[in-house]
């Protein structure tokens, strides 16, 4: 049996974060009552005319610039014709021959090192409505709120060779879109969805195999599992001397398998032609220059800077730059107290744990980055013990209070005053002469006993490191 190599190309549909739809001024708000965000334009009434929302040009060009695409000064909307109840015009306005952005690339990190994945094109289109099938009443409903919501489709080259690479590409792309603030990246709500094209070929063969297109994966985990299953299925077919059928398959999330949905449609099935209602989109260089000047620092360069400037380990740089707000939080805290590794540790363990538990995002966090920095400093400088630090953290995370105020109010300040501690040490040693003798005689384990006694005397507020030093000095 030959060893097979998977070949994967991804089509991502990203819902653009505009307030209004792409060709009318209806709201794009998610979750509103069905059919409340609808007008004659997006309902496809005869005689109405679409007017392009300029914001979608800004968002798609910014994305193109961020992934090193060629920006096309002229692009064209076309009609993609098909019949479906959730498509009131019986055609979808999309871009076909002249997309807004041409070839580009995204660099991803893989276990074998960095890898460059080609972006074929980026184009704009409108979303369709939503069909809701009711098994109870045995009828279907159509909600047109989503009809005309702007989508950006980002098509990759078939450059990925494993499910892991596909997921790494998706994560990198999603992070870029979220950094640019052009898409909320929410896979569960469908604002970032992916169709995965996959084929296999005997390793060493140049030509690609016949591909299938997988749909209905609404998490990175689903993409990974759907691809794993489908690659296995295609390899088994070839091993049995059978052929892969070019088709669209649905991922069954419950069974973790892919199921045939329909044979693949060809482009000519859609009878594409330029939309006569929309003039060509002609960009101005001054717009592009302005949008380019507004680009934020992107995740990959920011990650590289975190490694370099703060000396963070790779996993910390990955995690902290995965979200712009989190990276901003870290940098604000590190600016307030210049101990970036310690700050990073607190964020990655305590802060993210609490945020997860409370189902909050960093931007909703009550504890300001300066507050976290102050707390890390209090522990670091020995003002409070590590244990108190964790307790104070839980408290200020919930309340947003100033950690120093909490420490004072609760009397948590550690005794780090050497002369004060020396007195207590002397007292404890004088009260336990037998233990002192045994210690001097070699029973070094008694150190724990002395420290424990001193902690008891001070109600746990002695700085344990300092107590250790003092005892050692006194008993030799
Ligand atoms: P369509 O528009 O019909 O979906 P495209 O030719 O535009 O088809 O390709 C869509 C996606 O499929 C692209 O991401 C491309 O990289 C990928 N692709 C094309 N051929 C193959 C193949 N043989 N195996 C895996 N992926 C492929
Ligand atoms: Mg496709
Ligand atoms: Zn409308």
Contact by Cβ (8 Å): 124, 62: no
Residue given tokens 């690609």 in the structure block = 208
Nearest by Cα to 122 from 54, 170, 62: 62
Does any ligand 1 atom lie closer than 6 A to the CB of residue 123? no
> How confident is the prediction along the chain (476 residues), in pLDDT tens digits per residue?
779 999 999 999 999 999 999 999 999 998 899 999 999 999 999 999 999 999 999 999 999 999 999 999 999 999 999 999 999 999 999 999 999 999 999 999 888 899 999 999 999 999 999 999 988 889 999 999 999 999 999 999 999 999 999 999 999 999 999 999 999 999 998 999 999 999 999 999 999 999 999 998 999 999 999 999 999 999 999 999 999 999 999 999 999 999 998 877 776 789 999 999 999 999 999 999 999 999 999 999 999 999 999 999 999 999 999 889 999 999 999 999 999 999 999 999 999 999 999 999 999 999 999 999 999 999 998 888 888 899 999 999 999 999 999 988 887 787 777 888 888 999 999 999 999 999 988 898 999 999 999 988 887 788 888 888 899 888 87
Ligand 1 contact via 157 beta carbon (within 6 Å): yes
Residue by residue, what is the 3-state secondary structure of the chain? Answer: CCCEEEEEEEEEEEECCCCECCCCCCECCCCCCCCCCCCCCCCCCCCCCCCCCHHHHHHHHHHHHHCCCCECCEECEEEEECCCCCCCCCEEEEECCCCCECCEEEEEEECCEEEEEEEEEEEEEECCCEEEEECCCCEEEEECCCCCCEEEEEEECCCECCHHHHHHHHHHHHHHHHHHCCCCCCCCCCCEEEEEEEEEEECCCCCCCCCEEEECCCCHHHHHHHHHHHHHHHHHHHHCCCCCCCEEEEEECCCCEEEEEEECCCHHHHCCEECCCCCCEECCHHHHHHHHHCCCCCHHHHHHHHHHHHCCCHHHHHHHCCCHHHHHHHHHHHHHCCCHHHHHHHHHHHHHHHHHHCCCCHHHCCCCHHHHHHHHHHHHCCCCCHHHHHHHHHHHHHHCCCHHHHHHHHCCCCECCHHHHHHHHHHHHHHCHHHHHHHHCCCHHHHHHHHHHHHHHCCCCECHHHHHHHHHHHHC
Do 391 and 403 form a contact (C-beta atoms < 8 A)? no
pLDDT at site 396:
95
What is the structure's pLDDT at 464? 81
Quick check: CB of 234 below 6 Å from ligand 1? no
Is 155 touching ligand 1 by the criterion CB < 6 Å? Answer: yes
Q: Residue 214: name the closest of 158, 258, 166 by CA.
A: 258
pLDDT of residue 316: 96
> Taking the domain 418-475, which CATH number applies?
1.10.10.410
So what's the pLDDT on residue 419?
82
Return the ligand 1 atom nearest residue 209 CA: 23
Question: Which ligand is closest to the CA of 158, given by its number?
Answer: 1
Ligand 3 centroid – CA 41 distance (Å): 5
Domain parsing of the chain, residue ranges: 4-288, 297-409, 418-475
Ligand 1 atom with the shortest distance to the CA of 264: 3
Q: 159 C-alpha to center of ligand 2: Å?
A: 15
Whole-model pTM over 0.75: yes
């Amino acid at each position: 049996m030959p060893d097979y190599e998977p070949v994967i190309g991804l089509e991502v549909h990203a819902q653009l974060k505009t307030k209004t739809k792409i060709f009318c001024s209806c709201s794009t708000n998610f979750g509103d009552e069905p059919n409340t965000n609808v007008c004659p334009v997006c309902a496809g009434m005869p005689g109405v005319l679409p007017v392009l929302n300029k914001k979608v040009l800004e968002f798609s060009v910014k994305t193109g610039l961020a992934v090193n695409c060629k920006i096309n000064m002229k692009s064209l909307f076309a009609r993609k014709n098909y019949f479906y109840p959730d498509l009131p015009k019986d055609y979808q306005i999309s871009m076909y021959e002249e997309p807004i952005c041409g070839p580009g690339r995204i660099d991803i990190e893989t276990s074998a090192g960095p890898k460059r994945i080609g972006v074929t094109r980026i184009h704009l289109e409108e979303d369709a409505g939503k069909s809701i099938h009711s098994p109870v009443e045995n009828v279907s409903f159509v909600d047109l709120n989503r009809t005309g919501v702007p989508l950006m489709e980002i098509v990759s080259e078939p450059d990925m060779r494993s499910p892991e690479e596909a997921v790494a590409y998706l994560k990198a792309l999603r992070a870029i879109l979220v950094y640019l603030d052009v898409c909320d990246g929410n896979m569960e709500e469908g604002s970032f969805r992916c169709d995965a094209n996959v084929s296999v070929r005997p390793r060493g063969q140049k030509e690609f195999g016949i591909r299938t297109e997988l749909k209905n994966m609404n998490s990175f985990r689903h993409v990974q599992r759907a691809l794993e299953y489908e690659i296995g299925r295609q390899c088994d077919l070839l091993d049995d001397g059978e052929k892969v059928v070019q088709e669209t398959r649905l991922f069954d999330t419950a069974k973790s398998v892919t199921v045939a949905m329909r044979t693949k449609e060809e482009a000519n099935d859609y009878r594409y032609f330029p939309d006569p209602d929309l003039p060509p989109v002609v960009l101005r260089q001054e717009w592009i220059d302005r949008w380019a000047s507004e680009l934020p620092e992107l995740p990959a360069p920011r990650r590289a800077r975190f490694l370099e400037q703060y000396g963070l380990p790779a996993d910390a740089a990955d995690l902290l730059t995965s979200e712009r707000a989190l990276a901003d939080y870290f940098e604000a805290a590190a600016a307030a107290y210049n101990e970036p590794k310690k700050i990073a540790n607190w964020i990655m363990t305590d802060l993210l744990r609490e945020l997860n538990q409370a189902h909050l995002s960093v931007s909703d966090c009550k504890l300001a980055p300066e507050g976290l920095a102050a707390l890390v400093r209090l522990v670091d400088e020995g003002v409070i013990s590590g244990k108190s630090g964790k307790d104070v953290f839980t408290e200020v995370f919930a309340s947003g209070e100033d950690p120093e105020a909490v420490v004072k109010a609760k009397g948590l300040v550690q005794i780090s005053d050497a002369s004060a501690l020396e007195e207590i040490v002397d007292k404890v040693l004088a009260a336990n002469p037998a233990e002192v003798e045994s210690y001097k005689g070699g029973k070094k384990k008694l150190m724990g006993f002395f420290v424990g006694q001193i902690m008891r005397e001070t109600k746990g507020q002695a700085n344990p490191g300092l107590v250790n030093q003092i005892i050692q000095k006194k008993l030799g």
